[in-house]
Structure 1
Amino acid sequence: MMKTFLIYAYSAILVLGSLPQLRQAKKIPDQPFARKAKSIYRTPATVSRRVIEKTKSTVTVSGHEKIPDQPVLFVANHQGIFDILVLLAYLDKPIAFIAKREIKRIPIISKWMEQIKCVFIDRSNRRAAIKVIDDGVESIKAGQSMVIFPEGTRSKGTNVQPFKSGSLRLGTRAEVPIVPITINGTYKMLEEDGGRIKAADIELIVGDPIYPEQYQGIKHNQLASDIQEIIINSID
């Protein structure tokens, strides 16, 4: 447990140390946002990478060259709590997430999330959830790529739970490429050992983009199923 405590403490120090950069980020004009995103993304990415490195984990990325040079919707499976840090650190593209409303209570981290145009969802409020989709579409149209986890919760293993199709509307309404992302191994860092942080070998696999002309006319349920199958096959 000492290693786990030290890593949490190290993470807290890094987050506190990002306050000067956060103040600077707030001063950068939102327009054009794509330019702002590149400037402010370095700090969340660097903090995330240092935390992953502190755990002594290794991350292997394949297929990075497939990522289009434009805003996209990344669709990923969700094995563990470290998924977000791995994506921030190693995807090498400014990204935002749909996050639970409760995260807004976390100092500094929530402010960084606001800066990179994350959107916060109250899952108990259906009307608010619809607005989250609208906000997410606006973020993508402004130039920010976004990541969704259609399983809705962590699988804590290699099994991929059924994908919910609703959040795919972020991509289809914004009319941007949808890129499958397979995450494998992050559950070993925390969830596998009862909350103790340990090193793991992690794979991040970028799938072939699905462009608007390919998914137009396909129902969202079918699209979700197709992407889930791509990710399952990558894990196997």
Structure 2
Amino acid sequence: MRTLFWYIYFGITLLATLPELMKAKKLDAAGETEARDRIAYLRARIWSQNLVKKTGSKVTVTGEHNLPTNGAILFVSNHQSHFDIPLLLGYVKSDKGFVAKIEMLDFKIVNDWMRLIHCIFMDRDDVRQAIRAINEGIEILKQGYNLVLFPEGTRSESGELQEFKPGGMRLAVKSGSAIVPVVIHGAKDIMKKGSLTIHPAEVEIQILPPVELLEGDHKDSIALSQRVHGLIEAALNEKKTSGK
């Protein structure tokens, strides 16, 4: 019953956002970017929180003091579940868009909202398109908007951290934005990979301190990617070892 109710709620509340979506699009066309952003980010935050709450899950956020107060942020997160996006949108205070799979463009209404919160859409099978998407993301960060990167590229079925795809760290290196690693614990238990059934879960969103860029990172973003991978992996392992 919980799963059926959640999908019904998802559809009804998505349709209910249409009046606000039309208003935000009109503001966008008129160049009223601040008003557009207020509507888009607030709606994204509230809707995302409600979607997570309807799963019956409990969410805690730790490390909020690590969030930079100035400048754009590239959040780099592990990827466990379809719910990672609403979790980060709804429970991490900073406004943000996402580096998303190009398949997300197939989701009507959702893709309009994603554009309004400055998401970028990447086709990893098309190298030229992926480069264009990265360059678009660099410009978005330079404009002061935050982005979330899931450098594993796909959800982890086991929850173990997978290898990071190359290139994503160029977003921060080329834009000068801060890199903030985020570790999501327990989201895989809301909806297992390959399943559409929803279960309540205990989820923690752990915000780690910003990663300092080293001199060589501007020439070799692979080393930077490996450092961030190590930080996220260590946090996952610590959580597993502690059993908390």
Same fold (TM > 0.5): yes
The question of 1:179 aligning with 2:180 is answered: yes
Distance in 2 (CA, whole Å) between partners of 1:154 and 1:8 is 21
Contact 1:96/1:145 (<8 A) preserved: yes
1:41 is matched with which residue?
A: 41
Contact 2:45/2:90 (<8 A) preserved: yes
Contact 1:80/1:187 (<8 A) preserved: yes
Structure 1 pair 134/128, CA: closer, same or farther in 2 (3 Å)? same
Aligned-pair Cα RMSD in Å = 1.8
More deviation in 76-85 or 39-48? 39-48
Contact 1:34/1:143 (<8 A) preserved: no
Structure 1 pair 29/137, CA: closer, same or farther in 2 (3 Å)? same
2:199 is matched with which residue?
A: 198
Distance in 1 (CA, whole Å) between partners of 2:145 and 2:36 is 10
Q: CA deviation at 1:143?
A: 1.9
Partner deviation per Cα, 1:138-172 (whole Å, 9 max, x = no partner): 11112210000111110023310011231111111
Contact 1:34/1:144 (<8 A) preserved: no
Structure 1 pair 192/131, CA: closer, same or farther in 2 (3 Å)? closer
| SS, match of residue 136 in structure 1 | helix
Contact 1:33/1:142 (<8 A) preserved: no
Distance in 2 (CA, whole Å) between partners of 1:200 and 1:105 is 28
Q: In the TM superposition, what are the counterparts of 1:70-149 in structure 2 within 5 Å?
A: 70-149=71-150
Percent identity of the aligned residues? Answer: 34
Partner deviation per Cα, 1:74-122 (whole Å, 9 max, x = no partner): 0000011110010000011111111122211211100001111111112
Q: CA deviation at 1:124?
A: 2.0
Q: CA deviation at 1:33?
A: 5.0
Q: CA deviation at 1:39?
A: 3.9
Contact 1:79/1:155 (<8 A) preserved: yes
Paired residue total: 233
Q: Which amino acid aligns with 1:4?
A: T
| SS, match of residue 169 in structure 2 | helix
More deviation in 5-14 or 196-205? 5-14
Q: CA deviation at 1:32?
A: 7.9
Q: Which amino acid aligns with 1:7?
A: W
Q: Which amino acid aligns with 1:73?
A: L
2:22 is matched with which residue?
A: 23
Q: CA deviation at 1:36?
A: 4.2
More deviation in 100-109 or 184-193? 184-193
* Gap runs ≥5 in structure 1: none
Q: CA deviation at 1:233?
A: 1.5
Contact 1:52/1:86 (<8 A) preserved: yes
1:7 is matched with which residue?
A: 6
Q: CA deviation at 1:215?
A: 3.1
Contact 1:151/1:161 (<8 A) preserved: yes
| SS, match of residue 168 in structure 2 | helix
1:58 is matched with which residue?
A: 58
* Gap runs ≥5 in structure 2: 238-244
Contact 1:38/1:94 (<8 A) preserved: no
